[in-house]
Structure 1
């Protein structure tokens, strides 16, 4: 691991546990084992470190092979989606689960959830990347199922998307509020509960 990567990881660890605004560049440098001035060879400011963390996290979703596989494309031609929407959800869940096996990625989630109330940039990132984009995805998901007659004609895709997505968000908030370092067993339970909720909700609106 090079110095820039150490700065990234130490900053993320401190930000996620103590809050972005409570951590100084001097403290980051001390944890890394370098002088404060050496940080400027890699980052122009503390905010630049935060922006690098966000860029890294955004790229995970944009370039991950599993998340962007053809089986998870929202399309009326996607046989998995049309024939077995529960499997479609499960495959997406497993892709996210694989991503969350990385401790670094869990810390970013914690940073975003805990600190969004205190920092405008974190709040804006949460609203755009963690709320708006997923909700658009799930609204389109239900719109396709409605168009294909898989769910009831009186279903509201926008409302269903919010209901579908709100439970995992609640679970994440609960976990982040409870643990400094999220145990893997807790993460396993999170995905189990989220998938059970998804199956239950879909079953409620499916055409019988």
Structure 2
């Protein structure tokens, strides 16, 4: 499939930024890789900052699709066990991070979080905040359906998801280095099993 010059700039910039960081990449380097003149880039983006912003906004939109719509939750949660739901959620996260573009965007966010206010906002609001809010709703419903013990659902969301975030960061680092991920994947499975053993109704 043929992609436009703007898309080439986008994906090549993403590749370079994710490897070297935003500050380590010049407009000249981007245009050389794309195969256009420096002046031609400004027909598509006003600045390097605008390219980065477009990448982050794309990530924001794309990542939001990893969570099912709230209006479908009741049906999903009634059909699935707690274990199968959590495993499916983990599978979606891993699938996103195994995608080459997803890996690069995740890595870029990690690299830029202390330089870019937008990167920090996405990590704190979209990755952490929205995921915890979503899981709080999920655990509230599981309690209503008497599938889990009646603990504070927000605490459950935090206790479950923060180790997942940490282990997925480790997973992404190993993938970047071309190292095996079997051990960290085992840790993720063990985390789910331990968590389920704590919250499931006996």
Work out whether the TM-score is over 0.5. yes
Matched with 1:30 is 32
Of 185, 195, 200, 1:201 maps to 195
Q: In the superposition, relative to structure 1, how do residues 4 and 182 fare at CA in structure 2: closer, same or farther (>3 Å)?
A: farther
Of 108, 125, 130, 1:128 maps to 125
Please list, as runs of the form range in 1=range in 2, the aligned pairs for 1:76-87 lying within 5 A after superposition.
78-81=77-80, 84-87=81-84
Matched with 2:18 is 16
What secondary structure, in the 3-state scheme, does the structure 1 residue paired with 2:73 have?
coil
What secondary structure, in the 3-state scheme, does the structure 2 residue paired with 1:75 have?
helix
1:165 is aligned to 2:173: no
Matched with 2:91 is 94
TM-fit CA distance, 1:62: 4.0
Please list, as runs of the form range in 1=range in 2, the aligned pairs for 1:52-201 lying within 5 A after superposition.
52-63=54-65, 68=68, 73-75=72-74, 78-81=77-80, 84-153=81-150, 155-177=151-173, 181=176, 183=178, 185-186=180-181, 190-201=184-195
Q: Using the alignment, how far apart are the partners of 2:76 and 2:68 within structure 1?
A: 16
1:80–1:88 Cα contact (<8 Å) kept: no
CA deviation digits over 1:24-74, x for unaligned, max 9? 22221122222211111111221221122122222324457xx5479x942
Over the residues paired in the alignment, what is the CA RMSD in angstroms?
Answer: 2.6
Q: Using the alignment, how far apart are the partners of 2:73 and 2:154 within structure 1?
A: 15
1:135–1:161 Cα contact (<8 Å) kept: yes
Q: In the superposition, relative to structure 1, how do residues 166 and 55 fare at CA in structure 2: closer, same or farther (>3 Å)?
A: same
2:82–2:147 Cα contact (<8 Å) kept: no
TM-fit CA distance, 1:8: 1.1
What secondary structure, in the 3-state scheme, does the structure 2 residue paired with 1:74 have?
helix
Q: In the superposition, relative to structure 1, how do residues 132 and 63 fare at CA in structure 2: closer, same or farther (>3 Å)?
A: closer
- Unpaired runs of 5+ in structure 2? none
- Unpaired runs of 5+ in structure 1? none
What secondary structure, in the 3-state scheme, does the structure 1 residue paired with 2:44 have?
coil
Aligned length: 200
1:175–1:182 Cα contact (<8 Å) kept: no
2:109–2:119 Cα contact (<8 Å) kept: yes
Q: Using the alignment, how far apart are the partners of 2:171 and 2:91 within structure 1?
A: 19
TM-score (norm 1): 0.82
Q: Using the alignment, how far apart are the partners of 1:73 and 1:195 within structure 2?
A: 26
